[in-house]
Amino acid sequence: MVIKKISKKSKIEKPKEEPLVLQTLRGMKDILPVDQPYWEQARRMTEKLARDYGFSRLDTPIVEFSNLFTRSIGEGTDIVEKEMYNFLTRGGDKVALRPELTAGNCRSYIQNGMHLQPKPVKIFSTGPVYRYDRPQEGRYREHYQANFDAYGEQDPILDAQMIQIAHRLVQALGIKTVQMQVNSIGCPACRKDYKELLVNYLESKKLKLCQDCKRRMQANPLRVLDCKEDKCSQVAALAPQSVDHLCEDCRNHFKTLLEYLDELDLPYIINPHLVRGLDYYTKTVFEIWSSAEEGKKLSLGGGGRYDRLIKMMGGEDTPAIGFGIGMERIISEMKRVQAKPYKPPRPKVFLAQLGNLAKKKSLKLFSELEKNGILTAESFGRGSLKSQLKVANKLGVEITLILGQKETLDGTVIVKNMTTGAQETVSADKLVDLIKRKLKADNVVVYHNA
């Protein structure tokens, strides 16, 4: 038997390390500082409208059980069939990244006993949602939505108010050319007969439909009306319309809604092909459209009634209506129409420091100014006073505070008027009151309420 000696120099090979990919995943992107003023404006306006119209904020988890979405949204929908991020946890739970906000909001409504609150219960929510399918123009696999939902009221005045809020929101963000499209897809009672009529019509045109619509014909025939393929749009143009086949209750509901919209002077059209893509919708559906380049129109969001969803999920019989706005599309449209982004308050005071001892004291001084609501800029780390004053000039501040070695030992600060160049030395314990008086004299707002 031959025994082979193993060299001490031989090494165990380590597994090859995967290269670090310094880019985002497809369909996802960074929201860069240069874009944040637009996002901040959109966030501020949605939150303001939510408060003004009596909506309370609700935040739900990004991850939920998968069947929450498959049962509520519908197994025959594009979201469930193509777009959900499904996976198993280590514990074996079947979960998904939320593809929309409504199902999670309804789950929270039931779980937390919100049905006991005075009606209507108005909920506002924002956050990321995830859809895996090939991203459309202006959409991403991770994108953000703002949702407004109201539970417990079936009067069409809530439908009108939701449409009013959607219209008010996009207008307040500087998007002035807006069209509201509305339709009624009826309730389960009248929709049954309409679906049979629609399927019979689609069967006669089956050869002209795309492969997806041929499959949708039985599972979700209303979705054929919403298909963007040219040949399917031509078929849909001559299809029976849901508004012509409503029961008396749905007809009266839709008629009353239109009367409210007329009273509000909202620009709307009835789009008989508008159905929305989710199974839970009943009666009113609507979308918000803006005119884009070259006469094209861009959908900014939409919603409708989902009167059966809460009961279907195990809660009480609860009428509900809501809508969602796509934040990326809103911001893209804001840029296109050159709408104004948010402008943060500009600091009027700059703190300059010179020397190691002054650096140590300047941190505490900066904190004191901030606590007293004095918005202050600084350039900590810059060594020379000249370079710091350049920054102060660029920012356009009115006052520069200079803290050097001598001032630190004396317990004083130099206050420099950047317009006149005049300087005065002030005791550190009187500095805050002095700056407040100077800023008040110049009508500068103090931003922090202690």
Q: In terms of Cα–Cα distance, which of 60, 103, 144 is closest to 306?
A: 103
Higher pLDDT, 147 or 212: 147
Q: How far apart are CA 132 and CA 95, in angstroms?
A: 15
Question: What pLDDT does 386 receive?
Answer: 87
Q: Which residues of 335-358 are buried (b: 16+ CB within 10 A; e: fewer)?
A: eeeebebeeeeebbbbbbbbbebb
Q: Average pLDDT in the 194-213 region?
A: 86
Work out whether the CA dihedral 334, 340, 341, 342 comes out positive or negative. negative
Q: How far apart are CA 402 and CA 378, in angstroms?
A: 11
Nearest-5° angle of CA 125, CA 54, CA 305?
Answer: 60
- The per-residue pLDDT of the chain, averaged, comes to 88
Q: Average pLDDT in the 190-218 region?
A: 85
Given a contact cutoff of 8 angstroms between Cβ atoms, the answer to whether 189 and 247 are in contact is: yes
Question: What pLDDT does 277 receive?
Answer: 66
The two tokens of residue 431 are 């500095």
Question: What is the band of 102 on the pLDDT scale with cuts at 50, 70, 90?
Answer: very high
Question: What pLDDT does 240 receive?
Answer: 87
- For 25, 29, 141, the CA distances from 21, given in Å and listed in that order, are 9, 14, 18
Question: What pLDDT does 10 receive?
Answer: 53
Question: What is the band of 202 on the pLDDT scale with cuts at 50, 70, 90?
Answer: confident
Higher pLDDT, 352 or 216: 352
Q: How far apart are CA 336 and CA 79, in angstroms?
A: 29
Question: What pLDDT does 230 receive?
Answer: 85
- For 47, 368, 392, 424, 440, the CA distances from 447, given in Å and listed in that order, are 19, 14, 20, 25, 12
Note the pLDDT tens digit of each residue in 3-24: 555 555 555 667 788 888 899 9
Question: What is the band of 450 on the pLDDT scale with cuts at 50, 70, 90?
Answer: very low
Higher pLDDT, 217 or 334: 334
The pTM of this model reads: 0.85
Higher pLDDT, 193 or 98: 98
Question: What is the band of 216 on the pLDDT scale with cuts at 50, 70, 90?
Answer: confident
Q: In terms of Cα–Cα distance, which of 163, 158, 162, 156 is closest to 181?
A: 163
Question: What is the band of 117 on the pLDDT scale with cuts at 50, 70, 90?
Answer: very high
Q: Which amino acid is at 421?
A: G
Question: What is the band of 228 on the pLDDT scale with cuts at 50, 70, 90?
Answer: confident
Tell me the domains of the chain and their CATH numbers. 36-187+247-336 (3.30.930.10), 349-441 (3.40.50.800)
Q: Average pLDDT in the 163-188 region?
A: 94
Q: Which of 43-52, 65-74, 371-380 has the lowest mean pLDDT?
A: 65-74
Question: What pLDDT does 448 receive?
Answer: 43
Q: How far apart are CA 211 and CA 208, in angstroms?
A: 10
Q: How far apart are CA 185 and CA 278, in angstroms?
A: 12
Question: What pLDDT does 201 receive?
Answer: 87
> pLDDT above 90 covers what percent of the chain?
58
Given a contact cutoff of 8 angstroms between Cβ atoms, the answer to whether 110 and 315 are in contact is: yes
CA dihedral 109, 112, 116, 120 (to 10 degrees): -30
Residue 301 scores a pLDDT above 90: yes
Work out whether the CA dihedral 279, 127, 226, 291 comes out positive or negative. positive
